[in-house]
Structure 1
Amino acid sequence: MRSRADDALAQAAVDALTGQLELAPKPGLPDPRDLNARTTRRDHRALRWSAKALAPGLAAMAAAARRTGEPTPRLRTELGAIGRCTEHSVGLAGGGHRGALWALGLLVAAAALDPRAAPRDVAATAKRIAAHPDRRAPRRPSRGSSVSARYGAAGARGEARAGFPHVRRAWDALTAARSAGATEAEARLDALLTVMSTLQDTELLYTAGPLGLRRVQTGARAVLEAGGTATEPGRRALDALDTDLHAHAWSPRGSAGLLAGALFLDSVPVRAASPARAA
Protein backbone atom coordinates (compact mmCIF):
# COMPACT_ATOMS: atom_id res chain seq x y z
CA MET A 1 0.00 0.00 0.00
CA ARG A 2 1.29 3.45 -0.93
CA SER A 3 1.90 6.10 1.71
CA ARG A 4 1.77 9.88 1.44
CA ALA A 5 5.56 9.87 1.52
CA ASP A 6 5.60 7.61 -1.57
CA ASP A 7 3.24 9.97 -3.39
CA ALA A 8 5.39 12.95 -2.34
CA LEU A 9 8.52 11.36 -3.79
CA ALA A 10 6.71 10.53 -7.01
CA GLN A 11 5.41 14.09 -7.31
CA ALA A 12 8.91 15.45 -6.67
CA ALA A 13 10.18 13.35 -9.58
CA VAL A 14 7.36 14.51 -11.87
CA ASP A 15 8.03 18.12 -10.83
CA ALA A 16 11.71 17.63 -11.72
CA LEU A 17 10.78 16.30 -15.15
CA THR A 18 8.26 19.04 -15.90
CA GLY A 19 10.76 21.60 -14.59
CA GLN A 20 13.25 20.31 -17.13
CA LEU A 21 10.63 20.58 -19.87
CA GLU A 22 9.82 24.19 -18.95
CA LEU A 23 13.46 25.28 -19.17
CA ALA A 24 14.47 27.35 -22.23
CA PRO A 25 16.38 27.68 -24.42
CA LYS A 26 17.51 24.03 -24.36
CA PRO A 27 19.77 23.21 -27.32
CA GLY A 28 18.08 20.67 -29.57
CA LEU A 29 15.47 19.78 -26.96
CA PRO A 30 11.72 20.47 -26.64
CA ASP A 31 11.01 23.60 -24.64
CA PRO A 32 8.26 26.23 -24.35
CA ARG A 33 9.45 28.00 -27.50
CA ASP A 34 8.03 25.04 -29.43
CA LEU A 35 4.52 26.08 -28.45
CA ASN A 36 4.87 28.84 -31.04
CA ALA A 37 6.09 26.45 -33.75
CA ARG A 38 3.30 24.74 -35.63
CA THR A 39 5.29 21.60 -36.40
CA THR A 40 6.31 20.81 -32.82
CA ARG A 41 3.52 22.23 -30.66
CA ARG A 42 1.83 18.87 -30.14
CA ASP A 43 5.09 17.13 -29.24
CA HIS A 44 5.91 19.49 -26.39
CA ARG A 45 2.41 19.48 -24.99
CA ALA A 46 2.32 15.68 -25.17
CA LEU A 47 5.58 15.46 -23.27
CA ARG A 48 4.24 17.71 -20.50
CA TRP A 49 1.03 15.69 -20.31
CA SER A 50 2.70 12.27 -20.39
CA ALA A 51 5.16 13.32 -17.67
CA LYS A 52 2.22 13.39 -15.28
CA ALA A 53 1.40 9.79 -16.20
CA LEU A 54 4.65 8.72 -14.52
CA ALA A 55 3.36 9.57 -11.04
CA PRO A 56 1.46 6.33 -10.20
CA GLY A 57 4.34 4.13 -11.33
CA LEU A 58 6.95 6.16 -9.48
CA ALA A 59 4.84 6.06 -6.32
CA ALA A 60 4.55 2.27 -6.69
CA MET A 61 8.36 2.06 -7.00
CA ALA A 62 8.77 4.09 -3.81
CA ALA A 63 6.28 1.82 -2.04
CA ALA A 64 8.10 -1.30 -3.26
CA ALA A 65 11.40 0.03 -1.95
CA ARG A 66 9.89 0.97 1.40
CA ARG A 67 8.37 -2.52 1.77
CA THR A 68 11.59 -4.29 0.78
CA GLY A 69 13.83 -2.10 2.92
CA GLU A 70 17.07 -3.02 1.15
CA PRO A 71 18.50 -2.68 -2.39
CA THR A 72 18.01 -6.38 -3.11
CA PRO A 73 17.70 -8.37 -6.36
CA ARG A 74 14.02 -8.80 -5.56
CA LEU A 75 13.54 -5.04 -5.44
CA ARG A 76 15.37 -4.61 -8.74
CA THR A 77 13.08 -7.15 -10.38
CA GLU A 78 9.97 -5.50 -8.96
CA LEU A 79 11.09 -2.06 -10.10
CA GLY A 80 11.63 -3.43 -13.61
CA ALA A 81 8.11 -4.85 -13.72
CA ILE A 82 6.59 -1.60 -12.48
CA GLY A 83 8.68 0.35 -14.96
CA ARG A 84 7.43 -1.68 -17.93
CA CYS A 85 3.82 -1.17 -16.86
CA THR A 86 4.49 2.55 -16.44
CA GLU A 87 6.03 2.75 -19.92
CA HIS A 88 2.77 1.35 -21.31
CA SER A 89 0.71 3.92 -19.39
CA VAL A 90 2.93 6.76 -20.54
CA GLY A 91 2.64 5.52 -24.11
CA LEU A 92 -1.14 5.81 -23.88
CA ALA A 93 -0.74 9.36 -22.56
CA GLY A 94 1.48 10.47 -25.43
CA GLY A 95 4.80 8.69 -24.98
CA GLY A 96 8.33 9.80 -24.22
CA HIS A 97 10.41 9.91 -21.03
CA ARG A 98 11.73 6.35 -21.20
CA GLY A 99 15.26 7.34 -20.19
CA ALA A 100 13.97 9.69 -17.53
CA LEU A 101 11.75 6.94 -16.12
CA TRP A 102 14.75 4.64 -15.73
CA ALA A 103 16.81 7.26 -13.89
CA LEU A 104 13.99 8.72 -11.81
CA GLY A 105 12.62 5.29 -10.89
CA LEU A 106 15.92 4.18 -9.41
CA LEU A 107 16.47 7.49 -7.63
CA VAL A 108 12.93 7.53 -6.21
CA ALA A 109 13.35 3.97 -4.93
CA ALA A 110 16.71 4.86 -3.40
CA ALA A 111 15.23 7.92 -1.69
CA ALA A 112 12.40 5.79 -0.30
CA LEU A 113 14.89 3.35 1.20
CA ASP A 114 16.45 6.15 3.26
CA PRO A 115 14.13 9.18 3.53
CA ARG A 116 16.80 11.36 5.15
CA ALA A 117 19.66 10.56 2.77
CA ALA A 118 21.67 13.37 1.20
CA PRO A 119 21.67 13.61 -2.62
CA ARG A 120 24.99 11.79 -3.09
CA ASP A 121 23.85 9.02 -0.75
CA VAL A 122 20.66 8.60 -2.79
CA ALA A 123 22.75 8.19 -5.95
CA ALA A 124 24.98 5.64 -4.20
CA THR A 125 21.96 3.60 -3.11
CA ALA A 126 20.54 3.75 -6.66
CA LYS A 127 23.86 2.30 -7.82
CA ARG A 128 23.41 -0.65 -5.45
CA ILE A 129 19.92 -1.32 -6.83
CA ALA A 130 21.08 -1.07 -10.45
CA ALA A 131 23.92 -3.51 -9.82
CA HIS A 132 21.41 -6.37 -9.74
CA PRO A 133 20.17 -7.82 -13.03
CA ASP A 134 16.48 -7.69 -13.88
CA ARG A 135 15.90 -11.39 -14.51
CA ARG A 136 12.41 -10.80 -15.91
CA ALA A 137 13.42 -8.14 -18.43
CA PRO A 138 12.71 -8.91 -22.10
CA ARG A 139 15.72 -10.43 -23.84
CA ARG A 140 15.38 -8.39 -27.02
CA PRO A 141 17.97 -5.59 -27.21
CA SER A 142 16.79 -2.00 -27.08
CA ARG A 143 18.05 0.70 -29.45
CA GLY A 144 20.06 2.21 -26.61
CA SER A 145 21.72 -1.08 -25.68
CA SER A 146 22.53 -1.78 -29.34
CA VAL A 147 24.15 1.65 -29.73
CA SER A 148 26.03 1.16 -26.45
CA ALA A 149 27.41 -2.15 -27.66
CA ARG A 150 28.41 -0.72 -31.04
CA TYR A 151 30.25 2.33 -29.75
CA GLY A 152 31.28 1.22 -26.27
CA ALA A 153 29.16 3.88 -24.58
CA ALA A 154 27.99 3.37 -21.01
CA GLY A 155 24.36 4.01 -21.84
CA ALA A 156 21.55 4.32 -19.33
CA ARG A 157 22.42 1.09 -17.53
CA GLY A 158 26.09 1.97 -17.30
CA GLU A 159 25.23 5.41 -15.93
CA ALA A 160 23.08 3.85 -13.20
CA ARG A 161 25.62 1.16 -12.33
CA ALA A 162 28.27 3.86 -11.95
CA GLY A 163 26.10 5.73 -9.44
CA PHE A 164 24.76 8.34 -11.87
CA PRO A 165 27.99 10.37 -12.24
CA HIS A 166 26.38 12.81 -14.67
CA VAL A 167 23.43 13.38 -12.36
CA ARG A 168 25.89 14.19 -9.58
CA ARG A 169 27.90 16.48 -11.83
CA ALA A 170 24.74 18.28 -12.88
CA TRP A 171 23.75 18.73 -9.24
CA ASP A 172 27.21 20.12 -8.44
CA ALA A 173 26.97 22.52 -11.39
CA LEU A 174 23.50 23.58 -10.31
CA THR A 175 24.60 24.46 -6.77
CA ALA A 176 27.81 26.14 -7.97
CA ALA A 177 25.95 28.36 -10.45
CA ARG A 178 23.45 29.40 -7.81
CA SER A 179 26.29 30.28 -5.43
CA ALA A 180 27.88 32.40 -8.17
CA GLY A 181 24.70 34.46 -8.50
CA ALA A 182 23.08 32.87 -11.54
CA THR A 183 19.30 32.83 -11.82
CA GLU A 184 17.56 29.49 -11.35
CA ALA A 185 17.04 29.11 -15.11
CA GLU A 186 20.70 29.92 -15.80
CA ALA A 187 21.85 27.47 -13.13
CA ARG A 188 19.70 24.71 -14.63
CA LEU A 189 20.95 25.43 -18.14
CA ASP A 190 24.55 25.28 -16.92
CA ALA A 191 23.76 21.94 -15.27
CA LEU A 192 22.32 20.63 -18.55
CA LEU A 193 25.36 21.80 -20.50
CA THR A 194 27.65 20.16 -17.95
CA VAL A 195 26.00 16.83 -18.73
CA MET A 196 26.04 17.46 -22.49
CA SER A 197 29.75 18.31 -22.42
CA THR A 198 30.82 14.78 -21.42
CA LEU A 199 27.90 12.35 -21.72
CA GLN A 200 28.14 9.65 -24.39
CA ASP A 201 24.50 10.19 -25.28
CA THR A 202 23.26 7.07 -27.09
CA GLU A 203 20.48 9.07 -28.78
CA LEU A 204 23.07 11.38 -30.31
CA LEU A 205 25.28 8.46 -31.26
CA TYR A 206 22.32 6.90 -33.06
CA THR A 207 21.30 10.03 -34.97
CA ALA A 208 24.61 11.89 -35.36
CA GLY A 209 27.34 9.30 -34.93
CA PRO A 210 30.59 9.81 -32.99
CA LEU A 211 31.55 12.96 -34.93
CA GLY A 212 28.19 14.56 -34.23
CA LEU A 213 28.39 13.63 -30.57
CA ARG A 214 31.82 15.24 -30.27
CA ARG A 215 30.52 18.35 -32.00
CA VAL A 216 27.70 18.65 -29.46
CA GLN A 217 30.07 18.05 -26.54
CA THR A 218 32.47 20.70 -27.87
CA GLY A 219 29.63 23.18 -28.28
CA ALA A 220 28.42 22.59 -24.72
CA ARG A 221 31.94 23.05 -23.34
CA ALA A 222 32.26 26.29 -25.31
CA VAL A 223 29.27 27.74 -23.45
CA LEU A 224 30.70 26.78 -20.06
CA GLU A 225 34.20 28.00 -20.92
CA ALA A 226 32.73 31.34 -22.02
CA GLY A 227 31.42 31.81 -18.49
CA GLY A 228 28.12 29.92 -18.62
CA THR A 229 24.67 31.10 -19.55
CA ALA A 230 24.72 33.95 -17.01
CA THR A 231 27.28 35.81 -19.16
CA GLU A 232 26.85 37.52 -22.52
CA PRO A 233 29.59 35.44 -24.24
CA GLY A 234 28.09 32.28 -22.78
CA ARG A 235 24.62 33.21 -23.99
CA ARG A 236 25.96 33.82 -27.51
CA ALA A 237 27.66 30.43 -27.48
CA LEU A 238 24.41 28.85 -26.26
CA ASP A 239 22.46 30.44 -29.10
CA ALA A 240 25.01 29.14 -31.61
CA LEU A 241 24.80 25.64 -30.19
CA ASP A 242 21.00 25.74 -30.21
CA THR A 243 20.94 26.85 -33.84
CA ASP A 244 23.41 24.13 -34.82
CA LEU A 245 21.48 21.32 -33.12
CA HIS A 246 18.13 22.39 -34.54
CA ALA A 247 19.64 22.68 -38.03
CA HIS A 248 20.87 19.08 -37.83
CA ALA A 249 17.79 17.79 -35.95
CA TRP A 250 20.08 16.44 -33.21
CA SER A 251 18.50 16.00 -29.78
CA PRO A 252 20.55 15.23 -26.62
CA ARG A 253 17.64 13.47 -24.93
CA GLY A 254 19.84 11.47 -22.57
CA SER A 255 21.19 14.68 -21.08
CA ALA A 256 17.66 15.99 -20.51
CA GLY A 257 16.68 12.91 -18.53
CA LEU A 258 19.77 13.14 -16.34
CA LEU A 259 19.10 16.82 -15.66
CA ALA A 260 15.67 15.75 -14.39
CA GLY A 261 17.48 13.31 -12.08
CA ALA A 262 19.63 16.14 -10.74
CA LEU A 263 16.59 18.33 -10.15
CA PHE A 264 14.98 15.46 -8.25
CA LEU A 265 18.08 15.02 -6.08
CA ASP A 266 18.02 18.75 -5.44
CA SER A 267 14.51 18.37 -4.01
CA VAL A 268 15.17 15.23 -1.94
CA PRO A 269 16.29 16.79 1.39
CA VAL A 270 13.10 18.86 1.64
CA ARG A 271 10.59 16.46 0.07
CA ALA A 272 11.73 13.16 1.49
CA ALA A 273 12.78 14.20 4.98
CA SER A 274 9.42 15.71 5.83
CA PRO A 275 6.64 13.35 4.64
CA ALA A 276 4.12 15.15 6.86
CA ARG A 277 4.27 18.11 4.46
CA ALA A 278 2.63 15.97 1.80
CA ALA A 279 -0.55 15.75 3.87
Structure 2
Amino acid sequence: MIAGGDARAPSATLLADLAVRALHEEARLGPKPGLVDHRGGGAHDDMDLPLLLASAEALRPVFRSAADAASRTAIGVGLREELGRLGRTGDQVMLRVTRGVNTHRGALWALGLLVAAAGGSRDEREAACRAARLAALPDRHGPARTVSHGERVRRRYGGCGARGEAEAAFPHVIGVALPRLRRARAAGLAEDLARLDALLEVMSLLDDTCVLHRGGLGGLRVVQRGAARVLGEGGAGTESGRAALMELDERLRAHRLSPGGSGDLLAAALFLDMVPWPEHLTEAERGMVACRR
Protein backbone atom coordinates (compact mmCIF):
# COMPACT_ATOMS: atom_id res chain seq x y z
CA MET A 1 0.00 0.00 0.00
CA ILE A 2 1.07 3.58 -0.47
CA ALA A 3 0.79 4.37 3.21
CA GLY A 4 3.33 1.71 4.05
CA GLY A 5 2.18 1.44 7.67
CA ASP A 6 4.06 4.57 8.78
CA ALA A 7 2.56 5.73 12.07
CA ARG A 8 3.60 9.29 11.25
CA ALA A 9 2.04 9.34 7.78
CA PRO A 10 -0.24 12.39 7.45
CA SER A 11 -3.94 11.61 7.60
CA ALA A 12 -6.26 11.83 4.62
CA THR A 13 -7.98 14.79 6.27
CA LEU A 14 -4.70 16.65 6.73
CA LEU A 15 -3.60 16.00 3.14
CA ALA A 16 -6.94 17.26 1.82
CA ASP A 17 -6.70 20.34 4.03
CA LEU A 18 -3.20 21.07 2.73
CA ALA A 19 -4.27 20.62 -0.90
CA VAL A 20 -7.12 23.10 -0.47
CA ARG A 21 -4.86 25.48 1.43
CA ALA A 22 -2.32 25.34 -1.41
CA LEU A 23 -5.03 26.22 -3.93
CA HIS A 24 -6.25 29.08 -1.75
CA GLU A 25 -2.77 30.49 -1.26
CA GLU A 26 -1.92 30.24 -4.96
CA ALA A 27 -5.16 32.03 -5.81
CA ARG A 28 -4.58 34.83 -3.28
CA LEU A 29 -0.96 35.40 -4.28
CA GLY A 30 -0.39 38.54 -6.30
CA PRO A 31 0.29 40.33 -8.43
CA LYS A 32 0.41 37.28 -10.73
CA PRO A 33 0.80 38.15 -14.42
CA GLY A 34 -2.27 37.12 -16.40
CA LEU A 35 -3.74 35.06 -13.56
CA VAL A 36 -6.61 35.53 -11.12
CA ASP A 37 -5.56 37.14 -7.84
CA HIS A 38 -6.86 39.66 -5.31
CA ARG A 39 -6.99 42.35 -8.02
CA GLY A 40 -9.40 40.51 -10.29
CA GLY A 41 -9.60 37.97 -13.09
CA GLY A 42 -6.33 38.68 -14.87
CA ALA A 43 -6.65 37.51 -18.48
CA HIS A 44 -10.00 35.86 -17.64
CA ASP A 45 -13.40 37.50 -17.88
CA ASP A 46 -15.24 34.54 -16.31
CA MET A 47 -13.24 34.09 -13.09
CA ASP A 48 -12.42 36.02 -9.94
CA LEU A 49 -10.88 35.25 -6.57
CA PRO A 50 -14.12 34.28 -4.75
CA LEU A 51 -14.93 31.81 -7.52
CA LEU A 52 -11.49 30.17 -7.27
CA LEU A 53 -11.72 29.93 -3.50
CA ALA A 54 -15.19 28.35 -3.68
CA SER A 55 -14.02 25.90 -6.34
CA ALA A 56 -11.02 24.85 -4.23
CA GLU A 57 -13.17 24.35 -1.15
CA ALA A 58 -15.61 22.18 -3.09
CA LEU A 59 -12.75 19.80 -3.97
CA ARG A 60 -11.86 19.07 -0.33
CA PRO A 61 -13.94 15.83 -0.09
CA VAL A 62 -12.45 14.60 -3.38
CA PHE A 63 -8.90 15.08 -2.13
CA ARG A 64 -9.75 13.40 1.16
CA SER A 65 -11.26 10.41 -0.65
CA ALA A 66 -8.19 10.15 -2.90
CA ALA A 67 -5.85 10.10 0.08
CA ASP A 68 -8.04 7.60 1.89
CA ALA A 69 -8.18 5.28 -1.14
CA ALA A 70 -4.39 5.39 -1.44
CA SER A 71 -3.94 4.57 2.26
CA ARG A 72 -5.64 1.20 1.81
CA THR A 73 -4.82 0.26 -1.79
CA ALA A 74 -1.52 -0.70 -3.40
CA ILE A 75 -0.29 1.27 -6.40
CA GLY A 76 -1.81 -0.39 -9.43
CA VAL A 77 -4.58 -0.18 -11.98
CA GLY A 78 -7.25 -0.55 -9.30
CA LEU A 79 -6.09 2.54 -7.43
CA ARG A 80 -5.58 4.45 -10.69
CA GLU A 81 -9.15 3.70 -11.70
CA GLU A 82 -10.50 4.75 -8.32
CA LEU A 83 -8.59 8.02 -8.60
CA GLY A 84 -9.98 8.46 -12.11
CA ARG A 85 -13.51 8.00 -10.80
CA LEU A 86 -12.89 10.49 -8.02
CA GLY A 87 -11.35 12.94 -10.48
CA ARG A 88 -14.43 12.80 -12.71
CA THR A 89 -16.61 13.35 -9.67
CA GLY A 90 -14.46 16.30 -8.67
CA ASP A 91 -14.73 17.77 -12.16
CA GLN A 92 -18.52 17.62 -11.97
CA VAL A 93 -18.49 19.21 -8.50
CA MET A 94 -16.22 21.99 -9.74
CA LEU A 95 -18.42 22.74 -12.74
CA ARG A 96 -21.56 22.84 -10.58
CA VAL A 97 -19.98 25.29 -8.16
CA THR A 98 -18.55 27.50 -10.92
CA ARG A 99 -21.56 27.20 -13.26
CA GLY A 100 -19.50 25.62 -15.98
CA VAL A 101 -16.20 27.47 -15.61
CA ASN A 102 -13.05 25.32 -15.66
CA THR A 103 -11.25 26.75 -12.66
CA HIS A 104 -9.22 23.80 -11.38
CA ARG A 105 -9.22 20.87 -13.82
CA GLY A 106 -5.42 20.88 -14.17
CA ALA A 107 -4.87 21.37 -10.47
CA LEU A 108 -7.33 18.57 -9.67
CA TRP A 109 -5.28 16.18 -11.81
CA ALA A 110 -1.92 17.20 -10.33
CA LEU A 111 -2.97 17.53 -6.70
CA GLY A 112 -5.19 14.46 -6.84
CA LEU A 113 -2.19 12.34 -7.80
CA LEU A 114 0.13 14.00 -5.29
CA VAL A 115 -2.38 13.74 -2.43
CA ALA A 116 -2.74 10.03 -3.18
CA ALA A 117 1.04 9.56 -3.34
CA ALA A 118 1.99 11.64 -0.31
CA GLY A 119 0.63 9.48 2.50
CA GLY A 120 3.33 6.83 2.45
CA SER A 121 6.22 8.83 0.98
CA ARG A 122 9.35 9.92 2.83
CA ASP A 123 9.70 13.22 0.98
CA GLU A 124 8.42 15.19 -1.99
CA ARG A 125 10.65 13.40 -4.51
CA GLU A 126 9.30 10.01 -3.55
CA ALA A 127 5.76 11.37 -3.67
CA ALA A 128 6.36 12.74 -7.18
CA CYS A 129 7.74 9.38 -8.32
CA ARG A 130 4.76 7.51 -6.87
CA ALA A 131 2.42 9.98 -8.54
CA ALA A 132 4.23 9.38 -11.83
CA ARG A 133 3.67 5.64 -11.53
CA LEU A 134 -0.04 6.25 -11.00
CA ALA A 135 -0.28 8.73 -13.87
CA ALA A 136 1.21 6.21 -16.30
CA LEU A 137 -1.34 3.50 -15.48
CA PRO A 138 -4.48 3.05 -17.63
CA ASP A 139 -7.96 3.92 -16.46
CA ARG A 140 -10.08 1.26 -18.16
CA HIS A 141 -13.33 2.66 -16.83
CA GLY A 142 -12.72 6.22 -17.91
CA PRO A 143 -14.91 7.83 -20.55
CA ALA A 144 -14.08 7.52 -24.24
CA ARG A 145 -11.04 9.67 -24.94
CA THR A 146 -12.00 13.18 -25.99
CA VAL A 147 -9.78 15.74 -27.65
CA SER A 148 -9.30 18.41 -25.00
CA HIS A 149 -7.69 21.81 -25.52
CA GLY A 150 -4.50 20.41 -24.00
CA GLU A 151 -4.54 17.41 -26.32
CA ARG A 152 -5.01 19.63 -29.37
CA VAL A 153 -2.10 21.77 -28.23
CA ARG A 154 0.14 18.72 -27.73
CA ARG A 155 -0.71 17.42 -31.19
CA ARG A 156 0.02 20.77 -32.82
CA TYR A 157 3.04 21.99 -30.87
CA GLY A 158 4.42 18.95 -29.06
CA GLY A 159 5.29 19.25 -25.38
CA CYS A 160 3.97 17.15 -22.55
CA GLY A 161 1.07 19.02 -20.95
CA ALA A 162 -0.35 18.17 -17.54
CA ARG A 163 -0.31 14.42 -18.14
CA GLY A 164 3.28 14.40 -19.33
CA GLU A 165 4.37 16.57 -16.40
CA ALA A 166 2.85 14.03 -14.00
CA GLU A 167 4.28 11.01 -15.83
CA ALA A 168 7.73 12.63 -15.66
CA ALA A 169 7.41 13.02 -11.86
CA PHE A 170 6.65 16.75 -11.93
CA PRO A 171 10.04 18.14 -13.02
CA HIS A 172 8.84 21.77 -12.95
CA VAL A 173 7.65 21.30 -9.37
CA ILE A 174 10.53 19.26 -7.95
CA GLY A 175 13.36 20.75 -10.01
CA VAL A 176 12.18 24.34 -10.54
CA ALA A 177 9.48 25.72 -8.22
CA LEU A 178 10.51 24.14 -4.92
CA PRO A 179 14.25 24.90 -5.23
CA ARG A 180 13.53 28.50 -6.24
CA LEU A 181 11.06 28.92 -3.39
CA ARG A 182 13.53 27.62 -0.83
CA ARG A 183 16.49 29.57 -2.16
CA ALA A 184 14.45 32.76 -2.00
CA ARG A 185 13.43 32.07 1.58
CA ALA A 186 17.03 31.32 2.54
CA ALA A 187 18.04 34.65 1.04
CA GLY A 188 15.57 36.39 3.36
CA LEU A 189 12.88 37.19 0.79
CA ALA A 190 9.34 37.64 2.09
CA GLU A 191 7.12 34.61 1.51
CA ASP A 192 4.88 36.22 -1.11
CA LEU A 193 7.90 37.39 -3.09
CA ALA A 194 9.53 33.97 -2.84
CA ARG A 195 6.35 32.39 -4.21
CA LEU A 196 6.09 34.93 -7.03
CA ASP A 197 9.68 34.26 -8.08
CA ALA A 198 9.00 30.50 -8.00
CA LEU A 199 5.97 31.04 -10.24
CA LEU A 200 7.97 33.23 -12.62
CA GLU A 201 10.72 30.65 -12.94
CA VAL A 202 8.16 27.99 -13.87
CA MET A 203 6.61 30.41 -16.36
CA SER A 204 10.00 31.07 -17.94
CA LEU A 205 10.57 27.35 -18.61
CA LEU A 206 7.23 25.58 -18.96
CA ASP A 207 5.61 24.96 -22.35
CA ASP A 208 2.29 25.96 -20.79
CA THR A 209 -0.56 24.43 -22.78
CA CYS A 210 -2.96 27.04 -21.40
CA VAL A 211 -0.83 29.74 -23.03
CA LEU A 212 -0.33 27.73 -26.23
CA HIS A 213 -4.08 27.21 -26.54
CA ARG A 214 -4.79 30.93 -26.33
CA GLY A 215 -1.72 32.42 -27.99
CA GLY A 216 0.23 29.77 -29.86
CA LEU A 217 4.01 29.78 -29.95
CA GLY A 218 4.11 33.56 -30.13
CA GLY A 219 2.11 33.83 -26.91
CA LEU A 220 4.33 31.28 -25.23
CA ARG A 221 7.43 33.30 -26.14
CA VAL A 222 5.83 36.41 -24.64
CA VAL A 223 5.20 34.59 -21.36
CA GLN A 224 8.55 32.81 -21.14
CA ARG A 225 10.69 35.80 -22.13
CA GLY A 226 8.67 38.19 -19.99
CA ALA A 227 9.02 36.00 -16.91
CA ALA A 228 12.75 35.54 -17.55
CA ARG A 229 13.13 39.30 -17.83
CA VAL A 230 11.47 39.85 -14.43
CA LEU A 231 13.88 37.37 -12.85
CA GLY A 232 16.81 38.91 -14.71
CA GLU A 233 15.90 42.28 -13.18
CA GLY A 234 16.19 40.74 -9.73
CA GLY A 235 12.74 39.23 -9.32
CA ALA A 236 9.49 40.50 -7.85
CA GLY A 237 11.24 41.95 -4.81
CA THR A 238 13.30 44.60 -6.64
CA GLU A 239 12.08 47.90 -8.02
CA SER A 240 13.10 47.09 -11.58
CA GLY A 241 11.82 43.54 -11.28
CA ARG A 242 8.43 44.73 -10.03
CA ALA A 243 8.21 47.20 -12.92
CA ALA A 244 8.96 44.39 -15.39
CA LEU A 245 6.37 42.20 -13.64
CA MET A 246 3.64 44.79 -13.97
CA GLU A 247 4.56 45.40 -17.60
CA LEU A 248 4.28 41.65 -18.26
CA ASP A 249 0.94 41.55 -16.44
CA GLU A 250 -0.45 44.32 -18.64
CA ARG A 251 0.75 42.55 -21.76
CA LEU A 252 -0.76 39.21 -20.78
CA ARG A 253 -4.07 40.82 -19.89
CA ALA A 254 -4.17 42.71 -23.18
CA HIS A 255 -3.54 39.52 -25.17
CA ARG A 256 -5.68 37.31 -22.89
CA LEU A 257 -2.76 35.03 -22.09
CA SER A 258 -3.20 33.07 -18.88
CA PRO A 259 -0.30 30.87 -17.66
CA GLY A 260 -2.71 28.58 -15.85
CA GLY A 261 -0.48 25.52 -16.09
CA SER A 262 2.25 27.39 -14.24
CA GLY A 263 -0.24 28.40 -11.56
CA ASP A 264 -1.32 24.79 -11.11
CA LEU A 265 2.30 23.70 -10.68
CA LEU A 266 2.94 26.43 -8.12
CA ALA A 267 -0.05 25.12 -6.14
CA ALA A 268 1.43 21.61 -6.37
CA ALA A 269 4.76 22.95 -5.09
CA LEU A 270 3.07 24.73 -2.19
CA PHE A 271 1.25 21.52 -1.27
CA LEU A 272 4.44 19.44 -1.26
CA ASP A 273 6.20 22.17 0.73
CA MET A 274 3.52 22.01 3.45
CA VAL A 275 3.39 18.23 3.94
CA PRO A 276 5.10 17.10 7.19
CA TRP A 277 7.39 14.52 5.59
CA PRO A 278 8.99 11.80 7.76
CA GLU A 279 12.38 12.70 6.24
CA HIS A 280 12.03 16.16 7.78
CA LEU A 281 11.59 14.85 11.32
CA THR A 282 14.32 15.31 13.89
CA GLU A 283 16.50 12.34 14.83
CA ALA A 284 14.63 12.00 18.14
CA GLU A 285 11.30 11.93 16.32
CA ARG A 286 12.64 9.33 13.88
CA GLY A 287 13.57 7.11 16.82
CA MET A 288 10.09 7.42 18.27
CA VAL A 289 8.58 6.44 14.91
CA ALA A 290 10.93 3.44 14.61
CA CYS A 291 9.96 2.21 18.08
CA ARG A 292 6.29 2.19 17.15
CA ARG A 293 6.76 0.07 14.03
- Fold shared by both chains (TM-score > 0.5): yes
Residue of 121, 131, 138 corresponding to 1:126: 131
Matching residue within 104, 113, 116 for 1:97: 104
Residue aligning to 1:136? 141
Structure 2 counterpart of 1:248, from 238, 252, 255: 255
User: Which structure has the larger Rg?
Assistant: 2
Post-superposition Cα deviations, 1:101-132, rounded to whole Å, max 9, x if no partner, equal: 00000000000233xx2112211111111121
Counterpart for residue 111 of structure 1: 118
Tell me the alpha carbon deviations over residues 52-103 of structure 1, each in whole angstroms, 9 at most, x when there is no partner: 00100010000111111x3212111110111000110111111410000000
Q: Tell me what 1:212 maps to.
A: 219
Structure 1 residues 4 and 157, CA gap change in structure 2 (3 angstroms): closer
Q: State whether structure 2 residue 196 is matched by structure 1 residue 192.
A: no
What does 1:152-231 correspond to in 2, within 5 Å?
A: 152-168=158-174, 169-231=176-238
| Alpha-carbon distance between aligned partners in 2 of 1:80 and 1:266, rounded to the nearest angstrom | 25
Quick one: distance in 2 between partners of 1:4 and 1:160?
22
Query: Relative to structure 1, is the Cα distance of residues 92 and 9 closer, same or farther in structure 2, using a 3 angstrom cutoff?
Result: same
| Corresponding residue for residue 257 of structure 1 | 264
Query: 1:8, 1:272 within 8 Å by CA — same for their partners in 2?
Result: no
Gapped runs of 5+ residues in structure 1? 275-279
Structure 1 residues 48 and 271: alpha-carbon distance in aligned structure 2, compared to 1, 3 A threshold: farther
Read off the aligned partner of 1:14 and give its amino acid letter.
Answer: V
Which amino acid in structure 2 is aligned with residue 82 of structure 1? L
1:73 lines up with 2:77 in the alignment: yes
Aligned letter for 2:178? Answer: W
Distance in 2 (alpha carbons) for counterparts of 1:165 and 1:4: 24
Distance 1:71 1:86 in 2: 21
Unpaired runs of 5+ in structure 2?
1-8, 282-293
In structure 2, how many angstroms separate the alpha carbons of the residues matched to 1:182 and 1:259?
17
Corresponding residue to 2:22 among 12, 16, 24: 16
1:182–1:230: 8 Å Cα contact kept in structure 2?
yes
**Aligned residues of 1:5 and 1:272 also touching (Cα < 8 A):** no
Check the 8 A contact 2:212/2:220 in 1, yes or no.
yes
How many positions carry a matched residue from both structures?
267
Decide whether aligned partners of structure 1 residues 167 and 128 sit closer, same or farther in structure 2, where only a CA change above 3 A counts. same
Distance 1:73 1:167 in 2: 25
- Counterpart amino acid of residue 13 in structure 2: D
Q: Does 1:33 align with 2:39?
A: yes
Are the equivalent residues in 2 in contact too, given 1:83–1:101 (CA < 8 A)? Answer: yes
Task: Compute the displacement of 1:134 (Å).
Answer: 1.8
CA separation in 1, counterparts of 2:152 and 2:75?
A: 27
* 1:271 Cα deviation from its structure 2 partner: 10
Q: Which amino acid in the other structure matches residue 118 of structure 1?
A: D
The runs of 4+ residues in structure 1 deviating greater than 4 Å are: 39-42, 270-274
CA root-mean-square deviation: 2.2
CA distance in 2: counterparts of 1:207 and 1:272, whole angstroms: 41
CA distance in 2: counterparts of 1:64 and 1:126, whole angstroms: 14
Q: Which residue of 2 aligns with 1:47?
A: 52
Percent of residue pairs identical: 50
Please say which of residues 133-142 and 166-175 is displaced more in the overlay.
133-142
2:268 counterpart letter in structure 1 = G
Measured after TM superposition, the shift of residue 141 of structure 1 is: 2.0
Give me the whole-angstrom Cα distance separating, in 2, the residues matched to 1:16 and 1:250. 23
- Contact 1:8 1:271 (C-alpha < 8 Å) held by counterparts: no
| Normalised TM-score (structure 1) | 0.90
1:82 aligns with 2:86: yes
